[in-house]
């Protein structure tokens, strides 16, 4: 799109824009940000749109975004986003709250048969028959003035979100599925989702699960210190201490500078600068009990009969998905069905709208109250007669 996009850069213009958007019960929202050089993302641009408005807000030129925040937290106005997680995290960081209520088109699209995690461009092309321009993915959004083509590119992310929202919401309403998403959208707007205590930073380290007890405790202490230091200085974690260096220090458990210097991955200015603190943390970690990892469900090892049961459960899910014009993997994955076949209760594996759709049938099948059979119209689920 080549027409001029309003760039809101004064408090008066922002108040006027917020007043206009506030007359509706929803608006489309997106952000552009940079975080390569900082711990916290730098908000560089906010794009908004409704049926009558397309505009970009320049947070770098404004002393306050208060009128926008008022809209973001107005419970009568739905904020429409695509893949909303990072955008909501940014606003949570700005004032400690998460915009609500929200409607995420990426979460909603699978209820119309689209794959999980479908990209915005793919959905726009599939639903609106529009191919979005590329080429600004690495734009420096701190640049001012922003080139007109970059501004138009950013505006497209909300311009096309408007008809996308209308289509997806309308189809969900027509199929009686709009309320299916309530729980997921509420979880998306839960502040706890965006609060990551430094005490939990160690669990995101690659390879920490392979460390022994004392080393894992040291990794926990080192990661907590690094996370807080990065936050305080607003620099990337790697500027304080790189992941591989942290893991190797925890594995080696050095007792002095000489032992620390022998760790190849831990050589560099960060270790030189913080060496004494690192040794103190390692020593403290030695005295801690080894922390327990929050583990994802393990893959279930099944014998031939168990795999056959998974095949039968997959067929049952496939029937329900086909009836609802859904992607079966959206309803339940094979790994999830393997957990059920391995003995986990159905409703601990599938939840929300998926449980409403399939849990009762899965439980009935496992209890022998229904069975699969091949009939005149193909595979079907029928009641058993005891």
Is 1 a member of any domain? Answer: no
Is the domain of 253 the same as that of 369?
no
Is 296 a member of any domain? Answer: no
Last residue of a domain, one of 241, 256, 287: 287
The token pair at 113 is: 């048969």
Give the length of the chain. 386
Q: Which domain holds residue 238?
A: 198-287
* CA distances, 13 to each of 9, 32, 140, 144, 154 (Å): 7, 20, 24, 18, 19
Domain count, the chain: 3
We report the CATH number of the domain holding residue 206 as: 1.10.150.80
Is the domain of 217 the same as that of 322?
no
Is the domain of 155 the same as that of 11?
yes
Is 33 a member of any domain? Answer: yes
Is the domain of 22 the same as that of 79?
yes
Is the domain of 133 the same as that of 59?
yes
The token pair at 215 is: 């080393």
Q: Which residue in the block uniquely carries the two structure tokens 């908000």?
A: 43
Last residue of a domain, one of 151, 166, 194: 194
Last residue of a domain, one of 194, 221, 248: 194
Confidence at residue 265, expressed as pLDDT on a 0 to 100 scale: 86
How far is C-alpha 297 from the chain's CA centre? Answer: 19
H helix or E strand, kind and range, residue 370: strand 370-375
Q: Which residue in the block uniquely carries the two structure tokens 């439980």?
A: 363
Tell me: the pLDDT tens digits for 45-67?
A: 999 999 999 999 999 999 999 99
* CA distances, 226 to each of 212, 246, 278 (Å): 20, 9, 10
Is 111 a member of any domain? Answer: yes
How many other CB atoms sit within 10 Å of the CB of residue 247? Answer: 24
User: Is the distance from CB of 268 to CB of 257 less than 8 angstroms?
Assistant: no
Is the domain of 51 the same as that of 113?
yes
Is the domain of 186 the same as that of 215?
no
Is the domain of 167 the same as that of 211?
no
| Tens digit of each residue's pLDDT, the chain (386 residues) | 446 899 999 999 999 999 999 999 999 999 999 988 999 999 999 999 999 999 999 999 999 999 999 999 999 999 999 999 999 999 999 999 999 999 999 999 999 999 989 999 999 999 999 999 876 667 889 999 999 999 999 999 999 999 999 999 999 999 999 999 999 999 999 999 999 999 999 999 999 999 988 999 999 999 999 999 999 999 999 999 999 999 999 999 999 999 999 998 888 888 889 999 999 999 999 988 888 877 655 667 789 999 999 999 999 999 999 988 999 999 999 999 999 999 999 999 999 899 989 999 999 999 999 999 988 888 888 898 75
Closest C-alpha to 357, from 166, 167, 174, 181: 181
Beta bridge partners of 275: none
Is the domain of 183 the same as that of 311?
no
């Amino acid at each position: 799109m080549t027409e001029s996009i309003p760039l809101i850069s004064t408090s008066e213009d922002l108040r006027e824009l917020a007043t206009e958007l506030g007359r509706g019960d929803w608006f489309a929202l997106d952000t552009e940000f940079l975080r390569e050089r900082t711990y916290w993302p730098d908000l560089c641009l906010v794009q908004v749109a409704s049926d009558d408005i397309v505009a970009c807000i320049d947070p770098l030129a404004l002393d306050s975004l208060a009128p926008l925040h008022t809209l973001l937290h107005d419970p009568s106005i739905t904020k429409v986003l695509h893949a909303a997680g990072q955008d909501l995290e940014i606003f949570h960081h700005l004032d400690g709250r998460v915009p609500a209520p929200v409607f995420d088109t990426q979460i909603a699209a699978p209820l119309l048969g689209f794959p999980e995690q479908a990209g915005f461009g793919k959905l726009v092309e599939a639903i609106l028959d529009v191919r979005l321009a590329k080429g600004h993915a690495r734009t420096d959004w701190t640049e001012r003035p922003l080139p007109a083509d970059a501004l138009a590119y950013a505006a497209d992310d909300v311009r096309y979100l408007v008809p996308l929202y209308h289509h997806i919401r309308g189809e969900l309403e027509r199929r009686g599925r709009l309320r299916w998403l309530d729980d997921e959208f509420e979880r998306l707007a839960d502040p706890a989702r965006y609060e990551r205590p430094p005490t939990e930073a160690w669990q995101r380290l690659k390879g920490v699960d392979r460390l022994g007890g004392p080393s894992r405790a040291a990794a926990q202490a080192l990661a907590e210190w690094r996370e807080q230091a990065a936050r305080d200085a607003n620099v990337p974690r790697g500027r304080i201490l790189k992941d591989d260096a942290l893991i190797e220090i925890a594995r080696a458990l050095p007792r002095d500078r000489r032992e620390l210097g022998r760790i190849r991955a831990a050589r560099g200015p960060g270790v030189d600068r913080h060496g004494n603190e690192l040794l103190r943390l390692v020593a403290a970690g030695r005295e801690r009990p080894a922390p327990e990892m929050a583990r994802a469900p393990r893959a279930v090892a099944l014998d031939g009969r168990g795999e056959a049961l998974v095949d039968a459960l997959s067929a049952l899910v496939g029937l329900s998905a086909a009836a609802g014009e859904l992607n079966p993997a959206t309803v339940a994955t094979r790994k999830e069905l393997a957990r059920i076949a391995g003995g986990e209760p159905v409703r601990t594996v599938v939840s929300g709208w998926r449980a409403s759709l399939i849990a009762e049938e899965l439980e009935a099948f496992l209890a022998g109250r229904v069975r699969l059979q091949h009939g005149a119209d193909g595979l079907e689920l029928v009641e058993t007669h005891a």
